Amino acid sequence: MKHFVMVRLFAIAALFASLSVQANTDGDLWQVLQKTAVAAHALSYQGIFYYQAGEKAQPVQITHLFNGSGEFSRNVVLDNSPREVFSLGRDLVIFNPKNEKIIIEKRHGQNMFPAILPTNLDAIKENYSLRAGEPERVAGRAAQMLFLEPKDSLRYSYQFWIDTEYGLLLKSVMFNSRNEALESIAFNQLALMDTLDLDWFQPKIDNKKSYVMEDEVATIADNGVSTGWTLKGLPAGFRKVDQMIRMVHGKTLPVTHLIFSDGLASVSLFIEPITKNIKPRVGHKLVGSTSFYASVTDGYQVTVVGEVPEVTVAQIANAVVFKK
């Protein structure tokens, strides 16, 4: 069985190797990006990458294994209090040291580097165009550079460096419209793994600390049949991908939470009735790549947060129309 899986892995590797990255036409470039989206899931690799945003830079050690049926990964964020992030498919568990405790957090379906692209690129094709750049070396590997540029001012642009041999994303930089880098993630060292061992797939347990589950925020799926409001004039290319009713820290009443995506960037919209003891919030803010916009309409607080330009969060907030 093990042997069989190994053969399959090598077959996948060979597939990527045969994709000689001399793509020039538009279709070929999208093909390269498609392989990149798949490679992050289908290959087994380990390495260290740096995440950088503003002044902050963070080394992260990654081990990722695909054994033919399941996808396992461990990310260790190497700062003063190393956090371990384990994922199995789209389920994620984070062991997060906080003072004398380790908080265990659960998450679902997150796009972690290098798997930041969805395997279905249709939404991205609608909203971005792709252009080839010059070949460069990243983490000692030959890479092809691609520019992913938005067709409007509602989203950021990206620059991708893709391993010429294996198709894996080696480096990704996000830029705003003034071409300032907002966020950069790049492998510093990288190696493919040819093992199926999972002995690394377990947390380092510190016996001196107690482990506690994060208090899970209650969320209820929302069928989207809203009573008091509708959405009109959403920014182009953003589609609602999720809707729920949740408790938000510090709020007594549940908040409606909608999530929009253009394929790469995500935006959250929160709608809640304004209660007497809570001060309404109005304003906008941009911190790094994250935009925030708050407004008050017809007795409701509307709040939008997302990794998009400010104009986009404002447009989403203004798309909420309350029925009279």
Cα dihedral 121, 289, 256, 303, rounded to 10, equals -140
What are residue 12's phi and psi, to 5 degrees?
-65, -45
- Binding segment for another protein (CB under 8 A), chosen from 16-24, 25-33, 145-153, 248-256, is 248-256
Contacts of 154 by beta carbon, 8 Å cutoff, 6+ apart: 235, 236, 237, 238, 262, 308, 309, 311, 312, 315
Member of 15, 181, 231, 248 binding another protein (CB under 8 A): 248
Distances in Å between the alpha carbon of 116 and those of 45, 98, 222, 250, 279? 16, 27, 27, 32, 37
Residues 220-239 that bind another protein (CB under 8 A): none
Q: Are 60 and 48 in contact (CB under 8 A)?
A: yes
Q: Does 266 bind another protein (CB under 8 A)?
A: yes
Q: Are 193 and 170 in contact (CB under 8 A)?
A: no
> Which CB, 30 or 292, lies closer to another protein?
292
Q: Does 145 bind another protein (CB under 8 A)?
A: no
Q: Does 277 bind another protein (CB under 8 A)?
A: no
Residues 149-178 that bind another protein (CB under 8 A): none
- State in angstroms the smallest separation of the CB of 285 from another protein: 4
- State in angstroms the smallest separation of the CB of 86 from another protein: 7
What are residue 14's phi and psi, to 5 degrees?
-65, -35
- State in angstroms the smallest separation of the CB of 60 from another protein: 6
> What kind and span of H or E run contains 315?
helix 310-318
- State in angstroms the smallest separation of the CB of 45 from another protein: 18
Residues 70-99 that bind another protein (CB under 8 A): 70, 72, 75, 77, 79, 81, 83, 85-86, 88, 91, 93-94, 96, 98-99
Residues 34-63 that bind another protein (CB under 8 A): 51, 53, 56, 58, 60
Member of 223, 227, 232, 250 binding another protein (CB under 8 A): 250
Residues 181-200 that bind another protein (CB under 8 A): 183, 185, 198
The number of angstroms, rounded, from the C-alpha of 89 to the middle of its chain's C-alpha atoms is 14
What are residue 319's phi and psi, to 5 degrees?
-80, -15
> What kind and span of H or E run contains 48?
strand 45-53
Member of 20, 25, 210, 277 binding another protein (CB under 8 A): 210
Indicate the residue type of 57.
A
Q: Does 311 bind another protein (CB under 8 A)?
A: no
